[in-house]
Amino acid sequence: MTVESAIIERLRAIATVPAARGLLDDAAVLDGLVLTHDSIAEGVHFFPHDPPASVGWKLVAVNLSDLAAKGAEPAGALLSLTLSSDDSWTEAFIGGVAAACESYGLPLLGGDTIALPDRAPRVLGLTALGRAAGVVPSRSGGLPGDRLWVAGTLGDSAAGLALLTDNPKADGPLVDIYRRPVPLLAAGRALAPHASAMMDISDGLLLDLSRLCAASGCGARIDLTALPLSRAFIAERAQHRAARLFAATGGDDYALLLALAPEREPDVTGCLPVPPTLACIGTLTDGNGLLLTDADGEVPLPERLGHEHRTS
Amino acid sequence: MTVESAIIERLRAIATVPAARGLLDDAAVLDGLVLTHDSIAEGVHFFPHDPPASVGWKLVAVNLSDLAAKGAEPAGALLSLTLSSDDSWTEAFIGGVAAACESYGLPLLGGDTIALPDRAPRVLGLTALGRAAGVVPSRSGGLPGDRLWVAGTLGDSAAGLALLTDNPKADGPLVDIYRRPVPLLAAGRALAPHASAMMDISDGLLLDLSRLCAASGCGARIDLTALPLSRAFIAERAQHRAARLFAATGGDDYALLLALAPEREPDVTGCLPVPPTLACIGTLTDGNGLLLTDADGEVPLPERLGHEHRTS
């Protein structure tokens, strides 16, 4: 058990009300409101040299992606801001927050602004609230026999991050997606009434799928060749097995992963706004393991399924 | 204008919906839920050597104090936790969070757990949600002629902090109150239906009162001799003018400040659960300045009215 999962177990012991969903979900649900909080730290979730407006955008987008996974409509946000000695950074950061809030109709309602000690890495947080539309899908409702679908594409953001790691001045569509992910709010609303289970893919498909499987008490079989990849991703990294494993473990996708009972498929596959794409990537199974295959047969599970740094 | 107030102005420009209350309040109100978020940073809001359980308790208590100021019943919380290399610190911190949540009936619903870079100061946050009971008092409803009241006592926490600054091993009731403030939830619920304006005193009476005055478009006249002081405070610092100015500017009180129309006083003064005390300390006036008096006449306003580090 990692330190992080030990801590989560400790928190779970005090989060016993039904609205907490056992801390197994992207969000809590209280009085018809879907609630989520994500924080980001300089040097862990973003680079000091990242454009501050894109850091602000991303903080909003990652929280909205949690609302998307619950089929919720954005209702409001509280911003947790730390001041730095560089006013222009904070000013540009707030500009990015404002742009994302405006783009997705998320009203800023309040929050907190605090000082940090000199030279401390910035830590920024957002609580987002959304209005649930009827049933709120959880991670735990999947059943053996449900097919697994992904709305959106995988690996773009991780490929963008790899480009930036090689060259901080890199640009292009993959870097754009890393910096300004698009939360799939409309897709989430369209899919939520039909999904047996749904979550956003923030830490890597395989890691997040293993969480959905654990919550649902299922295993899964995944066809790597069915992973939805963008043209930009394929142009950069091709689509052989290693590229697909990279896309399946990269994280920061903010695509949606859902389980659908076969009889619900006709309701869904025609209903999505376009984009994003909707791709069937596998099936939930009895048992508890992940099985990967591609055209050459079974694929050994990679040692690292995704990013462990964020867990709830 | 301080950097901090410039940033708040910038945020206010994007927080335009009524639920945001112009960021002038302790909390936002959405669909009958009162929402607040407070963060604390190591080296700014707590000492590295503070007992971690008391840091956890205090984080919960300061957020509950915002709910108290709105007369709201605790409904749930999201915890923003940063992991450190010292597991035992985090474990004890969570114990303090759990104790406060249990004491005040605040269910933990979710949140986020992230890593920080090595040796980064800890930053911890909590979003608290409360159910509003009818009218939610704001800071802006005060009218000239309303009398100003304080529920709770002033200066204890600042006196405890001063003791700890001199001697990190100091203890006693003032240190206890600094470390484990008590949110006045029952008093807040009893007072909220009657108050023209109400807020909690977190940054110092004079600074917070100046904010209530600015929001209400009033001035205020305060009788320093009427400030409610505890026996422990008086035993430590006496109650001369300097001691009372210390209590009026010290901050971290988590007492409640409210404005009451004179005709509402009979409804209120008998209704409070005991403790806390309820003390009339002055009156809202026409105009926009603060006027302090004591038995010797007018008291010059201190240069520093309170702590500017936290503003919303």
Query: What pLDDT, in 10s, does the model give residues A190-211?
Result: 999 999 999 999 999 999 999 9
Give B248-267 pLDDT, tens digit per residue. 999 999 999 999 999 988 87
Specify which residues A131 forms β-bridges with: A33, A73
> What letter represents residue B61's amino acid?
A
What is residue B269's predicted lDDT score, i.e. its pLDDT? 72
Query: What mean pLDDT is predicted for residues A143-153?
Result: 96
Contact A14 B98 (CB under 8 A): yes
Specify the range with the lowest mean pLDDT, choosing from A191-205, B164-178, B297-311. B297-311
Helix segments in B106-172, DSSP class H: 156-166
Least CB-CB distance to B82: which of A108, A112, A123? A123
Residue A242, exposed/middle/buried by CB under 10 A (0-12, 13-18, 19+)?
Answer: exposed
Task: Report the C-alpha gap between A59 and A76 in whole angstroms.
Answer: 14
Q: Mutate which of B127, B203, B252, B312 to disrupt the A interface (most A C-beta within 10 Å)?
A: B127
Cα A257 from chain centroid? Answer: 9
Q: Go through B176-213 and write b for each residue having 16 or more CB atoms within 10 A of its CB, e for each that does not.
A: bbbbbbbbbbebbbbbbebbbbbbbbbbbbbbbbbbbb
Share of chain B above pLDDT 70, in %: 96
Contact A117 B35 (CB under 8 A): no
What is residue B266's predicted lDDT score, i.e. its pLDDT? 80
Specify which residues A206 forms β-bridges with: none
Contact A123 B21 (CB under 8 A): no
- Rg for chain A (alpha carbons), in Å? 19
Handedness of CA A54, A137, A197, A18 (dihedral sign): positive
Share of chain B above pLDDT 90, in %: 78
DSSP reduced 3-state for A93: helix
Give B188-238 pLDDT, tens digit per residue. 999 999 999 999 999 999 999 999 999 999 999 999 999 999 999 999 999
* Among candidate residues A269, A220, A286, A271, the one with its CA nearest the CA of residue A248: A220
**A263 or B7, higher pLDDT:** A263
Cα A189 from chain centroid? Answer: 16
Q: What is the 3-state secondary structure (H, E, C) of B34-75?
A: EEEEEEEEECCCECCCCCHHHHHHHHHHHHHHHHHHCCCEEE
Please state, in angstroms and as integers, the Cα–Cα distance from residue B144 to each residue in A95, B36, B208, B249, following that order: 38, 28, 17, 23
Pairing of β B278-285 and β B147-151 = antiparallel
Handedness of CA A294, A297, A302, A305 (dihedral sign): positive
Do you find a cis peptide bond into B275, omega within 30 degrees of 0?
Answer: yes
Q: What angle do CA A128, A131, A133 make, to 5 degrees?
A: 140
Least CB-CB distance to B14: which of A32, A108, A120? A108
Helix segments in A30-146, DSSP class H: 52-69, 87-104
What is residue A311's predicted lDDT score, i.e. its pLDDT? 38
Q: Mutate which of A39, A57, A309 to disrupt the B interface (most B C-beta within 10 Å)?
A: A39
> Two tokens at B306?
């309170």
Contact B80 A80 (CB under 8 A): yes
Local confidence band at A77 (pLDDT 50, 70, 90 cut-offs)? very high
Handedness of CA B135, B140, B143, B149 (dihedral sign): positive
CATH number for region B3-131? 3.30.1330.10
**B8 or A121, higher pLDDT:** A121
Give B52-108 pLDDT, tens digit per residue. 999 999 999 999 999 999 999 999 999 999 987 778 999 999 999 999 999 999 999
- Mean pLDDT, all residues of chain B: 92
Q: Go through A266-284 and write b for each residue having 16 or more CB atoms within 10 A of its CB, e for each that does not.
A: eebeeebeeebbbbebbbb
Handedness of CA B279, B285, B289, B295 (dihedral sign): negative
What is residue B57's predicted lDDT score, i.e. its pLDDT? 97
Task: Report the C-alpha gap between B306 and B247 in whole angstroms.
Answer: 10
Domain with CATH 3.30.1330.10 in chain A: 3-131
Contact B10 A94 (CB under 8 A): yes
Highest mean pLDDT among B2-16, B22-36, B288-302: B288-302
Closest-CA distance of chain A to residue B269, Å: 32
Local confidence band at A154 (pLDDT 50, 70, 90 cut-offs)? very high
Q: Has residue B311 got a pLDDT over 60? A: no
Q: Mutate which of A8, A12, A14 to disrupt the B interface (most B C-beta within 10 Å)?
A: A14
CATH architecture of B147-299: Alpha-Beta Complex (3.90)
Q: Has residue B1 got a pLDDT over 60? A: no
- Asked if A44 and A165 count as a contact pair (C-beta separation under 8 A), the reply is no
> Two tokens at B45?
């809001």
Task: Report the C-alpha gap between B74 and B67 in whole angstroms.
Answer: 7
Q: Has residue B273 got a pLDDT over 70? A: no
> What letter represents residue A219's amino acid?
G
Length of chain A: 312
